[in-house]
Amino acid sequence: MARRGLLALLLAGLAAAARGEAAAPQVVAIDAGHGGVDQGAVIRGRVEKKVVLDISEKIAARLSRGKTLVPFLTRRTDVFVPLSDRVLNAEAAGGRAFVSIHVDKVYGRKGRGAILYVYGANRRMPDGPARGPEERILPSPPQSQIARSKVLAESLRAALKAEGIKTVRYVDLGGFAVLKSSVMPSVILEVGNLRDEREAVQMCRPEFQERLARAVARGLERFLAPAATRARE
């Protein structure tokens, strides 16, 4: 059913392109992790909530320059938005895909590069911090949705590689709350490791952030608007 829906969408897009019409722009949610009291990872004065907001704003700016996608930022300032609200607000905004931006601070994995997650059980992953009463527990997404999330993750991974940005060779699984939409393919992009000094310096540099933003925008366009992307290339 999902595959048929996708095919119909693709055919409609191709038909519109053949008629020379521009398809209506599609909304994509860009989620800057953490915010407010939740700082995320902090290493040597570099603060995750700030780095990921800078990157998310650049992705949004990049998307706004294209004609096919419209960004929806789950937060625009240094505030904490409950995780379930990030998903539900993005769904209410008509989001067609959800990309959550994070950085991590793991030991012993230097030079690893960016890693992409889709929803799934992962015993290696510790439980997250306790959640406030405002959090709603969303059901796990259906398998068909997780499969689409994997396609999105691979599209982003290919686009990052094409920009010369190092990525882990596989898409990982995690039981993260922001990956639980049942209607939007959803991924987390962990840009790099704050404990790796080289990656930490790199992820804070505006030129790198621009390159990353260009890759994410391209990966999203290829996934959601392949006909329009091909017409431009």
Site of interaction with Zn ion (CB under 5 A)? 33, 40, 102
Residue type, 98: F
Which residue number has the CB closest to Zn ion?
A: 102
CA distance 138 to 146: 15
C-beta closer to Zn ion: residue 200 or 224? 200
107 neighbors 194 (Cβ within 8 angstroms): no
C-beta closer to Zn ion: residue 20 or 45? 45
118 neighbors 186 (Cβ within 8 angstroms): yes
C-beta closer to Zn ion: residue 158 or 195? 195
Helix (H) / strand (E) element for 155: namely helix 143-162
List all residues 6 or more positions away from 1 whose beta carbon is below 8 Å from its beta carbon: 144
C-beta closer to Zn ion: residue 102 or 214? 102
Task: Calculate the dihedral angle through the C-alpha atoms of 60, 64, 68, 70, rounding to the nearest 10 degrees.
Answer: 60
Give me the residue label for tokens 């922001």.
Answer: 178
CA distance 6 to 3: 5
Least distance to Zn ion, CB of residue 54, Å: 14
Least distance to Zn ion, CB of residue 9, Å: 32
Least distance to Zn ion, CB of residue 43, Å: 12
C-beta closer to Zn ion: residue 165 or 188? 188
List all residues 6 or more positions away from 198 whose beta carbon is below 8 Å from its beta carbon: 110, 111
CA distance 231 to 131: 45
CA distance 30 to 52: 10
Least distance to Zn ion, CB of residue 23, Å: 33
Residue type, 200: A
C-beta closer to Zn ion: residue 13 or 33? 33
